[in-house]
Structures are given as structure tokens and as C-alpha cells.
Structure 1
Amino acid sequence: MNSLMKKAIAVAAAAATAIGLGVATGATANAADNATLTVSTADAKFAGKTANAYRMFSATVSGSDDTGDKAVSYTLDASWSRFFTGTDAAASGANCSGDAAAVSTCAYEYVSKLTGTNLVNFATKASNWAQKNNSGITAVDPSATVSATPTDGKYTAAFAGLDYGYYVVAVQGASVANTTGQYATLVSVDSAAVTAEIKGDLPTVEKKVDGNDSANAQIGQKLTFTLTSTIPDMTAYDSYTFNFKDTLSDGLTFDAITSVKVEGAADALVENTDYTVTKPTADNGNQLTVSMTDFKAKQQANAGKQIVVTYTATLNENAVVAGKGNTNSAKIEYSNNPSTNGTGESEPDTVRTFTYQFTVDKYTGDTYNDQAKRLAGAVFQLKAKDGADYIKFVKVDDTTYRVATDSDAADTTVQEFATPASGKLTLKGLKNGEYLLHEKTAPAGYNPLASDIGVKIDGKDNGTEQTDADVTITYDNEAGANYGQTATDGVIPVKNSTGSTLPGTGGMGTIAFTVAGVLIVAFGVVWAIRRKRA
């Protein structure tokens, strides 16, 4: 048995703090130890997860911090003997030997000299060893559950009634290193109340659409989605489940997996060899699943590297227009318990794809209001301002047209659309950008527009899954020279005027004047003849 005098304790505590072990001690003593260890984190993804504590060394404490004469001695728990005497790669690396006392002394001296990266690596090995099915090491009973809600910004889990000792604490499934490279927490419980930070990380997934958290697209447009995760350390497991699960919205049609790649690898993984694909259908909730095959055997050597799934999908005719957008999310299903082959799921990561619409309101009259006369029969076409061709649409009903997709039959698509009796026509499924609305034919009896109407759609990704994002539609009557008018509720008033009747020369008034003129001339002739005879 080894005694740690005050100076040695101070050095060890300083080293632990320097590498993020975060040990803090209290001064209250309870009978039969009866200590409480509280671990905490600000990371919400640990909420509700199970934490396990494994005692590596028992501890005897004498004196106290208050009097300055505190001393701690440690004895290796017998169940950890193989970890320190083993020569395989998973063991500690101490290579201790001899009887129990000699192994305990060797183990203590080995751990007490670890610092920096070596101590972090030791924590990983100890955590993996404790969790292995055949380790013979038993976790503290009961385990602790990380709180579902934070207190002062922290999610906590508490182990009560502990005997003093040196503990390894691991959250179930935390098989990925955190930002400082740590997988587990090492903490000396040598007072009545001890706190420490949760170390390690859980598998996560980051989803992007066209490289961003959101995209705007035209119906029929193909989008590229990427799902990025980190290969976990699977040392504690005999086999490991690792599946990408991506739920597509009704507005997206899955096309194909284009690649599954591991960071640094020259070649992509091979479908039906390294992974299998379950395509989204109505029966499986429109869920795409990419399941890794023999993941531990094939990828343990790449622990800590990124693995990226890339696939394409097309925005279809069922796409939600504006509002909250078309949301779809991905998560990772992963092994989280070496003893039971249990699995957990990561927090989902969501992206949104937006598409937009505007309404043409055809009217005539001096005032635009609900009482203004609406005009039917105005024929329009629409194209991107910098586009060569007019956009193809499919008629949804008398008042609505949506952008056509490649799967729409050619005989159902149109590039011209006429206003109905209501005068209102909605064009849906458009992406952000500038457009030219061309009136090809004016209603009968009305003059055509002098120029195209410029329309600009400017949608924002500033909402949430519960709130609508903003979209602003502006327009002008000068082919997009100056978008000086805002389309309230996305409605663009388009006025047509009747032409004035041009003057004619064949009316009854002219004939009457002609007859009158003839009679005056005739009367003059008769008067002149009579005067001559006289």
C-alpha cells in the first residue's frame, strides 16, 4: 500500500486539471465513506443517457484538507489485475507482475506517472477494458442517469454511497473522443462530495444539402445530401452496429447513393460488401438506411476518422411551398452496450429545402381592390431573367400551375397559361432568383403590356421547424430594371387597359351635313336664276 502525502496529492491534482480531468473535492466526511460523485456536461446530447462508474483502486483517506494533513493511499482492485499484467494491445501497457501486492504497487506507480496524452490514452484503454464482456469488472450499482433537463446549464448524473477510490466513468455508447481527445473520465473520489466533467463523446451525424444547412430549389431540381459521422473506437465491442438513418420528406424523391467514403481512403466503400442500402418507401416511413457491414472488423483501424455518405434526391411535386420548408433529418444508430448488444440513436440533424410561389392577379380599372374587375384569358409565360427558354409547368387546377419535373409526361407540360375568370393564377415551385413574366396575349378588347414584368424572389432561411421562414417578392413593369414594388402576400397585380375607339368618317352626321350642303347650293342656284330673269 502506498501513501500519497500532501505534496504528491497537490501535484497529481494539478496534472489532472491540466488535462481536463476536472477533479474537485469537498471537506465533509461521512461514516463508511458514503461519498457522492457528480459528473456533468453542458452537452444536451448526453441528456437521459446512462453513465457507469468502475472503481480501479480503493482508497483510504486520513486527515483532512481543512487541517492540511490529508493523505490518501490506494490499493488496486483485484478485478483490474489482468489490465495491468496483460501484454496485449488492449491492456494498460504497465506489464506488472508478481503477487497481488506487487501488482498493486506497480499499477499505482504506473498511473501516478502518467500525464498529458499518455493519461488520456490510458483513460481510453481503461474505459474499453472495463466495458468488455470478459473483463470481469463490475460497474457501480446502481448506474446513474444523466438528467433530462439542465440545471444552471449542466446535465448531471450522481453516484451516491460510494467508497473512496479511483474511478473510471464512462457514458454508455461514448465511444468517440471529445475535442480534447478524451473518451472517459478518470477521477479520485477521496472526500464526501466530488465533481467531475463527463468526457468522451457520442456518435453524431452532420447533415448538409448542397453543402449547407438549407437550400432553395425549383421543383424537379436534383439536390446533393451528405451525412458525415466519426468512426468510433469499438475496442470494447465484439461487433458493432453503425447505421445511417435518413428520413426524407414527402417533397423529396430519393435518387441514388453516390458514394460512401472513409477519410483518407483512396477508394470508396463498396455497396453489398461494405454496406447495404434500404431505399425509402411509404411502408418504411420514407426512411433511407445505409447499414455498415462488419464495421468493427473493417473500420476499427480508422477510429476517429470521418465517414461520409453522399446521395442525391429530387424536389418533387409534393414539396411544401415556402413556410417551414421541406425538412428532413438524419441520425446514427450505434452500439451502446458491449454486454447486451444494445443500440442507441444520435440526436437527429435536420436540413430544410425551400421552394416558392407567386400569384398573378389580372384586373382592369383605375383602382386595385377586391371590387376591381378581374380579367380572364390573359396568356402568360415565365422564364428566368438570364434564361433562354420559358419554364415548363403542369396544370394543377384552373388557378394553379407548378413547375414540371423530368418524370412528368411531355403532353402534360405547358409553357403558356391563361388567367381564369377570377383573374388569379398561382405559379409554384420556383427557387430564389429573378424572373420575367411575359404576357403573350392580352384579354380580348384590352391592350397588351408594354414590357415584361420583372419578378424577384428572395427567400430566407431564418425560421425554424416550428416557424415560417421569411420570403420577399418584389416586381416592376420594366423587365426587372427596378424592383420597386413589393408583392403583398406574394400577389402581383397586373393591370390591362381598354383601348380608346379611334375616330371614323362614315357616320350619319357626315351624311346629314352633306345633304344640307347640297340643298344650300341648289337653293342658291335657283335664287340666282330667278334674279337674272327679273
Structure 2
Amino acid sequence: MNISKGLRRGVGGVVAAAALLALAMVPAGTALADTNIPIDQNANTTLTIKGKGSRLRGHYFTAMRIGAYGNAQTPTVGGGKLSSVGVDSSQVDAGGVPANEQIMQAMKDAYTTTSTSGSLPSGYGNNPVGAVAVTWLGFPSSITPPSGETADTTSNSSSAAWSGSLRKFVTTLTKNTNFKNRLADATHGHEVQASTTVLDDDDTTVEFSVKQGIYIVVDTTANHGTVSSTTIPASIPMLASTAVVDTASTPNVYDAFSTSPLVKLGEVSVKNDPLIVKKKMIDPTTGNASVGDTLTYMIVSKVPLTTGFSHYTYVVKDDPSAGLTYQGVTSVKFSTDANFTDTGIEHTLTGSDYTVSGGASSGAPVEFNFSGSIINFTQGTPSYYNDYIKITYTMKIDDSAREGTQLQNGVSLTHSNDPGNPPTGDGGTPGDGTTTTIDNSGDSTGTVKTYMYGFSLADVDKNNHATYLTGGEFQVKQGATVIKFKKLGDGTYQRAADQTAAVDNITIFDTLTPAAGGGSGTYDLAIGRMRFTGLAEGTYTVVQNTVPVPYSSLGKSTFTVTVSTDTATTSVPVPTAETPAYSNSHDGWDLVAEANWNPTTDPNHYILVQEINSISQLPMTGGAGAILVGLVVIVLLGGAGALFFITRRGEKSLSQEI
């Protein structure tokens, strides 16, 4: 008999199903068909927990008998397998002595709490486990259920392995104070520790040498502190039965039923199935953005196993850095896959299925709390257990964001882990009941980084680059739109989060001036320098509107600056979101120096904007030379026209006089 369908980590530590599957147990003394098997009540047999090292390593398990085998039979034809086994609750201790009244009462209470009749049936007053066997076996039985009871014929299904009458009985029993006390008593319980050195992917076992019968197996690791410095979650209990050993001189071991020959008695299989919580930025896909942009994220977390819990804590938390402000939920859905897409969507949740709190200011955490309804996450068909919750929501880069201070936000999941100490209400807030937190705020599965960029210029004398100038005014455009900036310090300007605000000469600027120098603020620059920050990748046009006095307005510059995460330059051959490539195109006068640079090795690079005193300082070669020649021609033609006008006027006057 394989009592367990598997264990699950992250919901309650080690978790197992409680279906009795094909075990046709009947109370001791009941007449049985086929051939009787003389049971050796003193013989030990093995009860084995099997699983991967990552699930069992270092864990302690305690097994306590709640029912002894009273009789057993094998088919007259085709022996070697069991046809039926009787169980008796009156002898359950490790030594085979009668149960004391306390543990017997715990089993009686668990039965009456679970049963529809609210009482033990006639003839089972001191054999509650026998009553369980004939009532909640999980499949149609030849044994008639006791009067007043309805047989639970679903407990042997994989879905009912985590629910139903049998599971409720086991969970109720193990929450009983008397049961807990008896489990902790080494006289009655057998405790075994799994290997502490087995590798994650290795198959391993935990083995008990015990008397024959029905056992409750509990993960008692929490009684020993921690494993690998990680808080150990408790287990929901496992119900398991041993093989049957007869009294022959060479004992025969019956480890399967003829009706279910592949289900081995005395073995519990443990599955690894950890809860997950992970996060990704959905938009923009480039991983970079400007101040004021809205970012869209998706969190994917697993729908938990809630067996054994009357209430459950399930809180997903986004913890952003300063500079990010929560905006709202786009959608919350169930999905059958764990991808950051909409494939496999089964059901869209509404606002009544969860609550959202926090996120009211920059850097404020926001919590998505499913605790009020997680127990009921079986809305329709199929059940959403083992599926995924996908939360899509937005955040905005606000004015407190700063270039050079990485924008990032991590995700964590706080969930119940101990059915013996569940939350006391539907609110299920952390701290109410025992919880575990999966914190992915420090790794790539849960932390999303957002990058912003900037560039600098210095206004200098063309003949002396050591002479820095103030008074020049500039604008930065993206396309035809002038970008508005907030002044962070003398010469330092950051893109304003609100680009619709009216221009305010105190806080928001669309015309920018180089630093005057002498400031003491954190973001003050030296005289003649400017810095534009809070920008995403893209191409920006810098327009000089005025020049410093007394320089010539003929030298006003217009040029572009390009920030790219995928187009290489000679300085940055492999650009990324973290290390983009920068380049700028020279203006028509060739007064803007240095075409590209590496922001990683030269983060304080300044694009030099050169100012001239006279037209003679304009270059005479290249495109600028052609422009200058055209200007001279226009000037000369204008002069010729004026001379011609004066000459004709003089001629006219002379003729009039004649």
C-alpha cells in the first residue's frame, strides 16, 4: 500500500497524501474469505520514505503506530498477495501494548469530528481506525459502512489524496495535543534522520524498522532547529502501512494487494515540488527607460497545496527601490504554465479574490494578498492547485529616481508552512500562524533592474578649451518634442516625470544653462558644465538657443546624441542595457567635438561645445566650409546689389540736372 502520493516543499515542508488506496482493512475479528495468514505480531518490518536528496537531506521523521494488524488473508487462487487485512486500534504502541486512554480518545475525537454522524459506529467503540478503514477506504468495499455513515469512495484518487474524509481524519488527529505529546515521547515514536550528505538530485531513503501496522509519519525536523541555516517547515502528516509478515520459519512478506499489485506496502514516495515566485519586466523589453515612463511587470507564483489548513497565508510582495511608484494592477490570472506569457490561461481573478496594499509613495512596498481566498482556489474545473498565479501590474519612474543609483525591485512570497499552526482567520497576515518567506529580491529570478542614462556637455572657448563659459542656453529634444527637465543642482538637470506640466522657471526647465560654479549641492557641477540625466536609450537633439556673451551667434550649435544598447561603436563594441554605447554627430560648423566615447571607462565625459568670437574662427573645410562659402557669396552679392542701386541713383540725379 502506497499511502502517499508525494511530498511538497514550500507549502508545509514535507507533504504526503493520505489515501489508503487499495487497502481493504476490516476490524479485527471480522470473518474473512480466502486463506488466513498467521501474522507474527512481534516481527519487525521496514517502513521506507523515498525521495530526492534535496527534499530529505538532514530531515528528521517520526513514525507512530495508530493501528495494529489483527488478521490478514491471501486469495485461495493466485496467492502471494493480500486480499484483505484487519486493523485494531486497541494495540498501537511501539511495544504492542494496549493504547492508553489519552491516545485512544484522540483517535475517537478525530473520527467523530470527521464523520457525518458525529459518533463511532456500533461495535467500533475502541477501534476508530477500524471504523476509518470500512468508512473512508476510498473505493467501494464489500464491507457495509456503519450505520449513519456514508462511504467516501473518492479518497483513493490523486486529487482526493489531499482532501476528503481520510485526510481530514489524519490532520485532525495530528493536531490533537495528546497525540503531539505522545509523538514526542521516544517510548512510542520512532525517529530517524535522513542522510546529511546526499546530493540534491540523488535518490535517497529514510527507513524505519517497526512492528506491523498502520502508522502516522510526521516530519519533526523543526524540533531540531534548522537544516543548512534555513528554517524548517513542518509537514502535513503521512498515513502509511507496513507489509504483512507471517509466522513461517522463513517468514513470508506480503507487500501488495492482489487488486493493486504495483502499489507496495511499506513505501512512501516523496516528490519535490517547491513553490516558486519569479518576476520579469514585460514592457519596455529593453530594460531601460526614462524618468516618467511607466514600467509593466509580471510576477509568476505557484498555487500552493493547502492540505491540512483551515486558513492560509499567501502574500506576494514587490519591494521597489526609491524612484519607483506603484501604479496599479493590469490583470491577475490563473495559468497552467509558468511562462511570462498569457498561454495556458484558465481563469481571470477579480478584485474579490485578492487585496492590494501599500505602494502609495516612491519606494513603498506593495503586497498582493491572496490569503482570504487561497483555500478556495478551485473555482470551477479543473482545480487550480499546481497551476500558477500571474500578476501583471505597473510602476512609474518618479522624480526621486537618480541616474547611477540602480532602479530595481525584488519579489518575495510569504506563505503558511505548518498545518499544526495555521492562521486564525481568512486575513492570513504574516505573523498569524507559522510562515516561510521565499525572498527572491537578491537574485535574477526575482529582481528586475531598470537602467537610465545621461550625457554631459561643456561650453568652452574654441581657442582655449580651458576657458569654460556660462550663459549659453540649450534645449534637448526627442524628435520634435522639447524635453522638460527638473534642476537637481547647478548645471545638473533630470528629465521631469511630468512632461505635461507648465514650464516653471524654478523647478521645471525646457531651456537649460551651464553651471555658474560655486555651488555646494550634491548635484552641482563645475563652471561651464551641464548634465542631462534620466533618459532612456534613443537619439536626442541638442539645440543651442543662445551663446554666452560676447561670443558670436553664428556659432550656435545643433547636434544629436545617441544612446544605444544594441548598436556598437568603436568605443563600445558590445553594448548592453548596463553598458550602452554613446555617440554624437557633429554639428554643421564642426564646433562639437568627439564623436563617441565609453561611459563605463569615462563616465564623466563632456561633449565640448566650442564658442567663437568672429566668423573667421569657423572652419573652412568639409560641410561647414561649404556653408561658410555660401554665406560669403550671399554677403558679396548683397554688396554688389547695394553698389548697383547707388550707382543708378547717382545717374538718375545727374540726368535730371541736365
Cα–Cα, structure 1 residues 198 and 34, in superposed 2: closer, same or farther, change >3 Å? closer
1:470 corresponding residue in structure 2: 578
3-state SS in 1 of match to 2:565 = strand
Supply the distance in 2 between the matched residues of 1:122 and 1:93 (Cα, whole angstroms): 12
Q: Is the 8 A contact 1:400 1:427 kept in 2?
A: yes
Aligned counterpart for 1:132 among listed residues 148, 163, 171: 171
Supply the distance in 2 between the matched residues of 1:223 and 1:405 (Cα, whole angstroms): 13
Q: How does 1:102-113 map to 2 (within 5 A)?
A: none
Deviates further, 72-81 or 254-263 = 72-81
Residue type of the alignment partner of 1:476: N
Tell me by how many angstroms 1:331 deviates: 1.7
Q: Is the 8 A contact 2:559 2:586 kept in 1?
A: yes
1:495 corresponding residue in structure 2: 609
Residue type of the alignment partner of 1:390: V
Tell me by how many angstroms 1:360 deviates: 1.4
2:358 corresponding residue in structure 1: 279
Deviates further, 489-498 or 397-406 = 489-498
2:416 corresponding residue in structure 1: 334
3-state SS in 2 of match to 1:132 = helix
3-state SS in 1 of match to 2:563 = strand
Tell me by how many angstroms 1:265 deviates: 5.8
Aligned counterpart for 1:97 among listed residues 134, 140, 143: 143
Unaligned ranges ≥5, structure 1? 5-11, 22-30, 60-69, 100-109, 173-182, 461-467, 504-534
Deviations 1:445-490 (A, max 9, x none): 1563554132214299xxxxxxx9732231122479x975434216
Tell me by how many angstroms 1:496 deviates: 0.3
Supply the distance in 1 between the matched residues of 2:192 and 2:556 (Cα, whole angstroms): 73
1:226 corresponds to 2:294 = no
Tell me by how many angstroms 1:310 deviates: 3.0
Cα–Cα, structure 1 residues 394 and 363, in superposed 2: closer, same or farther, change >3 Å? closer
Q: How does 1:407-422 map to 2 (within 5 A)?
A: 410=502, 411=504, 412-421=507-516, 422=526
1:378 corresponding residue in structure 2: 472
Aligned counterpart for 2:455 among listed residues 351, 359, 364: 359
1:434 corresponding residue in structure 2: 539
Supply the distance in 1 between the matched residues of 2:471 and 2:491 (Cα, whole angstroms): 12
1:348 corresponding residue in structure 2: 439
Deviations 1:159-199 (A, max 9, x none): 67652778787879xxxxxxxxxx999999899xx998741
Cα–Cα, structure 1 residues 158 and 287, in superposed 2: closer, same or farther, change >3 Å? farther
Supply the distance in 2 between the matched residues of 1:485 and 1:160 (Cα, whole angstroms): 66
Supply the distance in 2 between the matched residues of 1:377 and 1:146 (Cα, whole angstroms): 76
3-state SS in 1 of match to 2:555 = coil
Cα–Cα, structure 1 residues 74 and 123, in superposed 2: closer, same or farther, change >3 Å? farther
Deviations 1:341-396 (A, max 9, x none): 4342342342324232323131546899xx83323233222233xx3302111111
Q: Is the 8 A contact 2:313 2:371 kept in 1?
A: yes
3-state SS in 1 of match to 2:375 = helix
Cα–Cα, structure 1 residues 274 and 372, in superposed 2: closer, same or farther, change >3 Å? same
Q: How does 1:100-249 map to 2 (within 5 A)?
A: 124=162, 128-129=167-168, 132-134=171-173, 152-153=199-200, 162-163=209-210, 198-210=270-282, 215-249=287-321
Q: Is the 8 A contact 1:432 1:459 kept in 2?
A: no
2:565 corresponding residue in structure 1: 458
Q: Is the 8 A contact 1:439 1:448 kept in 2?
A: no
Percent identity (aligned) = 20
Deviations 1:204-225 (A, max 9, x none): 3232322689832211112223
Q: Is the 8 A contact 1:377 1:418 kept in 2?
A: yes
TM-score by length of 1: 0.60
1:316 corresponds to 2:398 = yes
Supply the distance in 2 between the matched residues of 1:211 and 1:76 (Cα, whole angstroms): 61
Deviations 1:432-451 (A, max 9, x none): 23322333333331563554
3-state SS in 2 of match to 1:133 = helix
Unaligned ranges ≥5, structure 2? 7-15, 17-42, 70-79, 90-127, 146-152, 221-235, 244-252, 254-265, 336-344, 424-432, 441-445, 517-525, 568-575, 589-593, 618-658
Residue type of the alignment partner of 2:454: F
In terms of fraction of residues, the more strand-rich structure is 1
Supply the distance in 2 between the matched residues of 1:426 and 1:336 (Cα, whole angstroms): 55
2:648 corresponding residue in structure 1: none
Deviations 1:40-71 (A, max 9, x none): 4447xx99988776779989xxxxxxxxxx99
Supply the distance in 2 between the matched residues of 1:483 and 1:47 (Cα, whole angstroms): 59
Tell me by how many angstroms 1:430 deviates: 1.3
TM-score by length of 2: 0.50
Cα–Cα, structure 1 residues 363 and 214, in superposed 2: closer, same or farther, change >3 Å? closer
Residue type of the alignment partner of 1:239: H
Q: Is the 8 A contact 2:451 2:577 kept in 1?
A: no
Supply the distance in 2 between the matched residues of 1:326 and 1:491 (Cα, whole angstroms): 26
Supply the distance in 2 between the matched residues of 1:161 and 1:383 (Cα, whole angstroms): 75
Instruction: Give the root-mean-square deviation of aligned CA atoms.
Output: 5.4
3-state SS in 1 of match to 2:290 = coil
Q: Is the 8 A contact 2:471 2:548 kept in 1?
A: yes
Deviations 1:109-129 (A, max 9, x none): x9xxx9xxx785576469945
Supply the distance in 1 between the matched residues of 2:543 and 2:194 (Cα, whole angstroms): 62
Q: Is the 8 A contact 1:132 1:339 kept in 2?
A: no
Count of residues in correspondence between the two structures: 423
Cα–Cα, structure 1 residues 81 and 389, in superposed 2: closer, same or farther, change >3 Å? farther
3-state SS in 1 of match to 2:306 = coil
Deviations 1:15-43 (A, max 9, x none): 99xxxx9xxxxxxxxx9779885754447
Tell me by how many angstroms 1:280 deviates: 3.0
Q: Is the 8 A contact 1:146 1:156 kept in 2?
A: no
Tell me by how many angstroms 1:416 deviates: 1.9
Aligned counterpart for 1:486 among listed residues 598, 621, 631: 598
Tell me by how many angstroms 1:500 deviates: 4.6
Deviates further, 285-294 or 71-80 = 71-80
Aligned counterpart for 2:135 among listed residues 82, 86, 91: 86
3-state SS in 2 of match to 1:496 = strand
Q: Is the 8 A contact 1:359 1:492 kept in 2?
A: yes
Residue type of the alignment partner of 1:424: R
Cα–Cα, structure 1 residues 130 and 374, in superposed 2: closer, same or farther, change >3 Å? farther
3-state SS in 2 of match to 1:296 = helix
Q: Is the 8 A contact 1:321 1:354 kept in 2?
A: no
Tell me by how many angstroms 1:275 deviates: 2.9
Residue type of the alignment partner of 1:389: T
Supply the distance in 2 between the matched residues of 1:239 and 1:352 (Cα, whole angstroms): 32
1:62 corresponding residue in structure 2: none
1:307 corresponding residue in structure 2: 389
